[in-house]
Amino acid sequence: MTRAFAFLAVAMTLLTGVSPARAQAGFGGFFGGGSNFGSGSGYEGGSSPIQRTRVSFPGRYAPGTIYISTAERRLYLVLGNGQALRYGIGVGRDGFRWGGTHRISAKKEWPSWTPPSQMLARRPDLPRHMEGGVDNPLGARAMYLGSTLYRIHGSNEPETIGQAVSSGCFRMTNDDVTDLYSRVSVGTTVVVKN
């Protein structure tokens, strides 16, 4: 699967005309991440420093619910029978963490990105819009949370998983977000505990 992502990255780069230098320059600073966004093997989402695993999850949530613990920096997909899949995530940095219950209102593969006005006010150097692809900071998949500005999305910066680095979104490696994306649907309940 990793080879397939690598092949896709090369093909996308060739088809979109993105120069290797531009692809390596990346856009890591958009969400407070490192400088490796869009470079080399980081495109694939790399290996998460926190491996996806099945764990015990005694709770009151229905199977299919996504439960996010910002304190733990973990996302749980409730499987039922006291089990869940646990993923490592990056969460909002100080001042950008939040909590609540929403539903996934949309799912997109290789989403485009338009920075919200609040982000542009903090970072006027950001582009006003980016098409989806290898340079895009939302990564390979995004799941939009209700009418909020927030998403669960991919990242090409595996070193930020387990860190508080975003502007409120939840980032996962591209491998993990692709796995989660395939398991949930629009309407899925997402519970965020801060």
Cβ neighbours, 10 Å, residue 112: 13
- Helix-helix angle 2-16:174-183, to 10 degrees: 100
Cα–Cα distance between 169 and 113 in angstroms, integer?
Answer: 13
Cα–Cα distance between 162 and 176 in angstroms, integer?
Answer: 13
**Could you confirm whether 129 is annotated as catalytic?**
no
Q: 169, 172, 180, 192: which is the annotated catalytic residue?
A: 169
**Could you confirm whether 169 is annotated as catalytic?**
yes
Q: 153, 165, 166, 174: which is the annotated catalytic residue?
A: 153
How big, in percent rounded to 5, are the helix, strand and coil portions of the chain? 25, 30, 45
CB 176 within 8 A of CB 52: yes
Cα–Cα distance between 141 and 95 in angstroms, integer?
Answer: 25
Helix (H, G, I), strand (E, B) or coil at 7: helix
35 backbone dihedrals φ, ψ, rounded to 5°: -95, 5
Q: Which residues are catalytic?
A: 153, 169
